[in-house]
Structure 1
């Protein structure tokens, strides 16, 4: 313990950034969570017609055959260690049946989260809250407030602990291989961190896990350890968390609305619209576009989506985005939109060739990335920078529009302690945002923090080299990189920006921020810019 005290004394005053504090109070949910009638989107004000084509259109789905390679770290094996003497085919059949039943039962929730609805006055509305959620939030909020009151009365000592400083000191100790000091600091952090505490306590929990994983793997070889922490959730489970996330946070919703508006604008008269989506994941961003296309004057275009995703571990690397394609097919059948789906999930993005995208000359081509280019490697790992390679590929296919939404982060430094500090500032904003806008006991909040923020933070902290896939850059860095790749930035649609600013003010907490700079739409929390979106076209060749 003496070595820890010595370490604290030497470093406490030098850490100026550690003085940043987030307020601990929990406000009433009714002040900032959206209500049903506040989630109204006026389609006419966005320039869309409400006419819908009645003729049934032909639906075509094409899914590439993916390589089926055995993986020693496949998730299927880990999930069933305790199930002995079970036939593999029967096991897969049971899983598929369970998945089908689960998604069928949750189809209404998918519609409520991903689609527009028409109210009694005939106005389209976007619903992100299910029945009974208000009572759940009120109950959770009151519990959260009570928990904070007890914390102030019984845990005054905890309130005086600067978890951020302890975490940075621990990271410094880990960086210098002083594992004795690091372990003593981790014990202190564990005493005051909590998976269900306030924002700083939750952040400390996941950052401590990352430091432990880094020590266990010495910065490398931690991929299998991180993958074994918990199996990935199904799309239906993630939708539950996504639903609550949309109710509490505008970042993804406004980015999706920005993307849809810009793509609809360039495809007003298109007979075929082809979207190449880098990082399609569950495809939650496209059902609303499908619905908009079905309402287009003169009928919907033929929609082609090329879903690109990173290979998944296990026997079926493309299983998740094949499932995404089937889900999008159901929406297209429902809204009579001709549909073709092509998935690419068996190779790294920088190795994709133009031929793989199956582009036709007579279609409007849109390229989209929703917060996923942060997963591409940069120059510090590969001299032939994958980020530049993907941008050059997009430039070669000459899209009519390229919409790039990015995570605005500075925690991509090659030096561990510098990266750790920046990660603390970034994730502190996210955990504080949830602590202000959501009840602490909400199970969907816990799942979202574990499956998204927790995994991302642990990857940033525990992994190095090829295993570190969380590598965000600032929007200014992305602007310079995209211009170098041969793109011209499009000006922001000011009418759209005004509408989005109005929706943000009407739907969400006052500390959320939307702004613009250099033709980027910026989104943030309490002054820290967290996400940014912009539109590009290929620059004329000289």
Structure 2
């Protein structure tokens, strides 16, 4: 598929996954290795497999619509042989959809008995559909409380948004384990880092600005690639991490990265910039060296800065003042910002059903504590923010890549096409483990879309000023 010269300019997935980092100070962040004992095929036909969580939710949606319409509806012939447990899951999801419709129409007295039935039949430790309904039923209850004035909207926003943001952005063992065992972050990161590598590889001085670095594992990918260059060896790699949280944990990540760079014979320095809000950033915060190649990496940041809109505007202007070679943006790929509540609920529910299906396959019963952390925090608390809060207090707004294209183009930013090497790297990572086989990778115009069984989960876009 790729020429020899093209592959030489790519990152080395094999080197990254087979490196022994236990001899460095990265021991808290182990890397995944392919389990050769697993022989599952990469893509089983649906007719030979049990229905996924998304399949069951789609059947429930079809049954729900059919109960209210005489129009012809899609059929699911391959799913007619459902087990009793699967049909119970379909009925449970249908009850949740019915409750959401009643809430959207502000018929709260009708919705409450439906939610009680959902609560009775769901569980945080049950089947994937039971777990999904458990968390989404609570999000709907929060919406009722907000709509009826039982809980002030600002109180819900303050409590939920702060906790979720802190968990998402703070380095932790749980976050590192989740990154190791669930494919989406690694697939997207490999594609994004490949794009950055292609834009800075000919420079002697490279400056990476990471807006919300988290565990920092992604930069070992770039270090591998830079250390393997036979020509134009770099003089210095600098990583600047911008955070709105405490500097201490981020500085520890920096120490690990600098130590790892030394094992690669790379000169690396690390700096932390702590601000109260990303909107406060300006050129004066950064230590820049004339002639260095600057690249910006923003993972799940822009969707948290849309309210008020001038916060994101300020960040983009600050990035523009740095004159970066490229800005790589990774975001949730979902239309979860509809003004119509029911539309937003349905879109979010299908997105979550694909995510729960992924967690069941990648974590299953072998790692229930980690799965519980992911489902209760990322999906449970996240659903409350998306579904229970309206107006400017809903501080996380996940949108599709087309919306971000329209926004960034307002600032004179041109979308850069992700190369075939970026797609190739993403595909290699997605095929790394048999449990990751349903992870799908494709292009939407110039951007990369990472999904689960075709359901879009993340987008990776590259921008040049």
Q: TM-score, normalized by length of structure 2?
A: 0.75
- Out of 317, 324, 328, the position equivalent to 1:392 is 317
* Cα distance in 2, alignment partners of residues 518 and 105 from structure 1: 40
Residues 105 and 501 (structure 1 numbering): CA distance in 2 closer, same or farther, change over 3 Å? closer
* Cα distance in 1, alignment partners of residues 218 and 420 from structure 2: 22
User: Paired residue for 2:95?
Assistant: 166
- Out of 186, 193, 206, the position equivalent to 2:135 is 206
* Cα distance in 2, alignment partners of residues 407 and 425 from structure 1: 13
Matched, 1:274 2:193: no
* Cα distance in 2, alignment partners of residues 201 and 410 from structure 1: 24
* Cα distance in 2, alignment partners of residues 285 and 448 from structure 1: 20
Matched, 1:426 2:355: no
State the Cα distance separating 1:365 from its structure 2 match: 0.4
Correspondence 1:209-224 to 2 at 5 A: 209-214=138-143, 215=145, 217-223=151-157
Residues 286 and 170 (structure 1 numbering): CA distance in 2 closer, same or farther, change over 3 Å? same
User: Paired residue for 1:462?
Assistant: 388
State the Cα distance separating 1:364 from its structure 2 match: 0.4
Residues 330 and 210 (structure 1 numbering): CA distance in 2 closer, same or farther, change over 3 Å? farther
Show structure 2 runs of 5+ residues with no match: 13-21, 39-49, 54-81
- Out of 237, 243, 254, the position equivalent to 1:303 is 237
Residues 346 and 500 (structure 1 numbering): CA distance in 2 closer, same or farther, change over 3 Å? closer
- Out of 183, 192, 199, the position equivalent to 2:112 is 183
Q: C-alpha deviations, 1:131-158, integer Å up to 9, x for none?
A: 9x97xxxxxxxxxx9xx9xxx8775773
Q: C-alpha deviations, 1:48-83, integer Å up to 9, x for none?
A: 699xxxxxxxxxxxxxxxxxxxxxxxxxxxxxxxxx
Q: C-alpha deviations, 1:195-214, integer Å up to 9, x for none?
A: 22333222111112222334
User: Paired residue for 1:59?
Assistant: none
User: Paired residue for 2:7?
Assistant: 45
Query: SS where residue 329 of structure 2 aligns?
Result: strand
Residues 160 and 338 (structure 1 numbering): CA distance in 2 closer, same or farther, change over 3 Å? closer
- Out of 307, 325, 337, the position equivalent to 2:254 is 325
Q: TM-score, normalized by length of structure 1?
A: 0.65
State the Cα distance separating 1:188 from its structure 2 match: 0.8
Matched, 1:286 2:219: yes
* Cα distance in 2, alignment partners of residues 323 and 467 from structure 1: 33
User: Paired residue for 1:242?
Assistant: 179
- Say what the alpha-carbon RMSD is for the aligned residues: 3.6
2:209–2:296 Cα contact (<8 Å) kept: yes
User: Paired residue for 1:488?
Assistant: 414
Residues 130 and 243 (structure 1 numbering): CA distance in 2 closer, same or farther, change over 3 Å? farther
User: Paired residue for 2:70?
Assistant: none
State the Cα distance separating 1:410 from its structure 2 match: 0.7
Query: SS where residue 442 of structure 2 aligns?
Result: strand
Matched, 1:449 2:375: yes
2:92–2:121 Cα contact (<8 Å) kept: no
* Cα distance in 2, alignment partners of residues 413 and 230 from structure 1: 22
State the Cα distance separating 1:455 from its structure 2 match: 2.7
Query: SS where residue 194 of structure 1 aligns?
Result: coil
1:278–1:308 Cα contact (<8 Å) kept: yes
1:167–1:204 Cα contact (<8 Å) kept: yes
User: Paired residue for 1:535?
Assistant: 462
User: Paired residue for 1:118?
Assistant: none
Show structure 1 runs of 5+ residues with no match: 1-41, 51-102, 114-126, 135-144
State the Cα distance separating 1:170 from its structure 2 match: 2.8
Matched, 1:352 2:281: yes
* Cα distance in 1, alignment partners of residues 424 and 220 from structure 2: 24
Q: C-alpha deviations, 1:495-538, integer Å up to 9, x for none?
A: 44245435535645554322212211122223322222122211
State the Cα distance separating 1:264 from its structure 2 match: 1.8
